């Protein structure tokens, strides 16, 4: 299985606020590592493996160079270990805020 062309360290890691928002999105798999992500203000297209185009076509990723909620939604559906483990951090944060 191909490895997602994503530099987690360079992008500042998994942002927990974005991860939380990504959980309400719907990721429709349309191909190898390709997702149509709906449920937010706008629909977006994610491509995890092709390096010739940006991973997502949203402004958060294109302009701020962040791992956006759409990419996180796609990575969750791919079972990406880094993102799944970040869910643990998210739950810890929720628990400590309660
Ligand atoms: Zn995006």
Hunting for tokens 């949203």 — which residue is that? Answer: 58
Residues in the chain: 98
Separation of CA 82 and ligand 1 centre (Å):
18
48 in a structural domain = yes
Which residue did the predictor score with more confidence, 46 or 54?
Answer: 46
pLDDT digits (tens, 9 = 90+) for 17-26: 999 999 999 9
Determine how many CB atoms are found less than 10 A away from the CB of residue 14.
Answer: 22
> What DSSP designation does 1 have?
-
C-alpha–C-alpha distance, residues 15 and 73, integer Å: 12
Output the average pLDDT for the chain.
92
Higher-confidence residue of 1 and 43: namely: 43
Residues spanned by the domain of 25: 16-97
Q: State the pLDDT at residue 53.
A: 81
Ligand 1 centroid – CA 24 distance (Å): 14
Is 6 a domain residue? no
Which among 88, 86, 58 is positioned nearest to 70, based on CA atoms? 58
Rounded to the nearest whole angstrom, what is the distance from the C-alpha of residue 16 to the centroid of ligand 1? 15
Answer yes or no: pTM beyond 0.85: yes
The count of domains in the chain is: 1
Residue 56 inside a domain? The answer is yes
């Amino acid at each position: 299985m191909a490895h997602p062309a994503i530099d987690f360290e360079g992008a500042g890691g998994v942002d927990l606020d974005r991860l939380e928002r990504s959980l309400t999105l719907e990721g429709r798999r349309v191909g190898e590592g390709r997702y149509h992500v709906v449920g937010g203000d706008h629909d977006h297209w994610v491509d995890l493996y092709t390096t010739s185009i940006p991973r997502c076509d949203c402004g958060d990723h294109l302009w701020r160079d962040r791992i956006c909620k759409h990419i996180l939604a796609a990575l969750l559906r791919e079972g990406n270990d880094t993102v799944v483990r970040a869910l643990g951090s998210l739950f810890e944060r929720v628990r400590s805020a309660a």
